[in-house]
Structure formats: C-alpha cells, structure tokens
Amino acid sequence: ARRVRAIRDALKPAARAGGHAEPRRWLVSLSHRDPPLAAITVGDLDTARQVTFTVPGMGTYTDDMQLWTETAQNVFDAQAAVGAPAAHAVVAWIGYRTPPPGVDATLGDYAERGAPLLASEIQGLQAARHGGDLASVNVIAHSYGSTMAADALAARDLGVDSFVMLGSAGVEDGIANARQLHARHVYAGEAADDGEAVWGRLSRQDPRAPGFGATVISVDGDPARGLLPVTTHAPVLHSRWNDDPDSRAWTA
C-alpha cells in the first residue's frame, strides 16, 4: 500500500512558484510484483518526437517513485532548455527489481533479469509509434541501472539514439566496447567525489576507460551557465521539495 501511494503521489506535478505550468504525467505501466514495479511519463508518449527513459540503480524502489519522477521532470526541463522538440517525454522507469545497496550490486543477476524488461518497454514504444513521427529514443541510466541497460542494449539493436551512463556500476566484460551497445551516441560521466560507483566495478569495466570508446562527459558544472556540480553518487536527494508535491517549499 505504501508503494502504491508513492506511485499515486508521483502523478501529481509539484505546484511550482510563479504558476509555472508543468507537463502532464501518466502512469504507463504497473505490475503487482514483489516489490511492485511502475513507470510514469512526464509528457505524452503518444505524441512525443523525442522520448528518454531514465533508469535507476541500486536501492531505488517504487517507494521512491515521487523522487524518481522528479528526476525525470528535471531531465524534461533541461532538455526543453536546450532546444528539445516541444513534444518530448521522459519516462521515470522503475520497471525492474533493483539490487539493494551492498554486495548484490556487484553481481549481474539483477541486471540479467532486468535487461529483457527494459528492452520490451523500448520495443513496445517503437511498435506503438511505428510509422509515426517518433524521431529518437534515448536512455539515461544511473549506477547499477547502467549495468542493466548496457546488457539490454548489447543483446539487440533497440534503435536507441543516445545512451548516457552516470555514476556507472560498470559494464560487463563481455561487452567489448561502446559499439556493441547499438546506440548512435554513448556517454559516461561520474562525480569526482563519487565513492560508491567504484565498488560496482570490482568485477566490471569502467565505461569511461579510453579503450571502451564512450564519450566522457563532465559533471563538474559550469558557474558561468548557472550549472551546479554533481558532488555525490545520488542523482537526486530526498527533501521536502522532491518528496512531497504539495509541500509549501515549492511556493514559499
């Protein structure tokens, strides 16, 4: 019940200051597995010309749906700010069982089980929009999510335009290089003070390694452009802003 409430709350956009209109949100998948799995889209998947899946890592469950949907909202807003099509959408995808923090994140079991689920979601979207004006499908994956997503993309060509790995827990050694991920563009970035991602790479390769072939991106920020640096492993932090869409913190 707690997780179902979290999913319901994530469907409510936060009341931003200044009356800024937020895009609508839709629940696009829900399973009654243990734990429950779900996906919420920011923006309309039926009309979006650009779709991005955001894939979480270890310890992110549907209890965190509000937080992860705010992550998708942040990506949606950032894309709009740099010229994304007006019709674009970002999916907060908690569609696989993530490993709990700890030794399980060093194993490949959760990634092997999750990869077909992500592949199915992407293929389903493309089938539903076949013959339409869907121009690009992208994946942004964090931590162990990048391990799982890499497995999915390496297994078959899913027609992904860009694949971004942030704070990656590593790519399996069986994936020799970025070309085997079947994405037109492959990027990897990590905070200098990220002390967690490295533990996931005890038995995996770092996608930022020169020989892998990904484009390494900075997450150090740019004060001149008002961009703050990433200073930790977490993609977004718990707070009254992020966890409660009705919080007065949004409008105070």
Per-residue pLDDT tens for 91-107?
A: 999 999 999 988 999 99
SS3 9: helix
pLDDT tier at 177, thresholds 50, 70, 90: very high
* Pairing assessment for the beta strands 25-31 and 37-42 based on DSSP bridges: antiparallel
DSSP assignment string, 96-158: S-PPPSSGGGGSSHHHHHHHHHHHHHHHHHHHHTTTS---EEEEEEETHHHHHHHHHHHHS--
Res 226 pLDDT > 80 = yes
**Mean pLDDT to the nearest integer, 144-156:** 98
Residue 157's φ and ψ, nearest 5 degrees, are -80, 110
**Mean pLDDT to the nearest integer, 151-160:** 98
- Higher model confidence: residue 50 or residue 34? 50
Whose CA is closest to 140, among 166, 120, 172?
166
* Pairing assessment for the beta strands 25-31 and 215-216 based on DSSP bridges: unpaired
Res 185 pLDDT > 90 = yes
For the chain, first and last CA: distance in Å? 31
DSSP assignment string, 193-241: T--SHHHHTSSSB-TTSTTT-PEE---S-BGGGTBPPP-SS-SS---HH
pLDDT tier at 20, thresholds 50, 70, 90: low
Question: What does CATH list as the number for 2-250?
Answer: 3.40.50.1820
Residues written for the chain: 252
How many CB atoms sit inside 10 A of residue 84's CB?
Answer: 21
pTM over the 0.85 mark: yes
Domain map (residue ranges) of the chain? 2-250
CA distances from 4 to 29, 82, 247 (A): 12, 34, 20
- Higher model confidence: residue 4 or residue 178? 178
* pLDDT value of position 237: 53
Average per-residue pLDDT in the chain? 89
